[in-house]
């Protein structure tokens, strides 16, 4: 990620690659820390049929691109892209 400044198609994949499980775990931590109630509502909305992109916008007012950038800031990779 440091070299490419990307998440390597993290959001587009049907199944995570083994190296991406750490990304998923720390991204969940980022969202839960940012707004724990929003994170709980995130899973409630999945049960109700919303897509993760809709939920991300609805509860965190973020697009996947903005989430990648926020995650990049957390892990000290500025300008990280999905």
pLDDT tens digits in sequence order for the chain, 82 residues long: 889 999 988 898 888 888 889 999 999 899 988 888 888 888 899 999 999 999 999 989 999 999 999 999 999 999 999 9
pLDDT at 51: 93
pLDDT at 25: 92
Q: Is residue 15 part of a domain?
A: no
Helix/strand/coil percent split, the chain, to 5: 60, 0, 40
Residues of the domain holding 70: 28-74
pLDDT at 26: 93
Structure tokens that stand for 25 in this block: 């775990």
Q: Is residue 49 part of a domain?
A: yes
Q: What are phi and psi of 36, to 5 degrees?
A: -60, -40
Q: Is residue 22 part of a domain?
A: no
């Amino acid at each position: 990620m440091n070299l490419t400044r990307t998440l390597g198609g993290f959001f587009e994949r049907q199944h995570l690659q083994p190296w991406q499980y750490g990304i998923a775990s720390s991204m969940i931590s980022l969202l839960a820390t940012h707004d724990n109630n929003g994170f709980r509502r995130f899973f409630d909305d999945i049960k109700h049929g919303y897509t993760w992109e809709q939920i991300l916008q609805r509860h965190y007012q973020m697009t996947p691109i903005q989430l990648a950038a926020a995650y990049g800031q957390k892990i000290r990779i500025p300008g990280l892209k999905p």
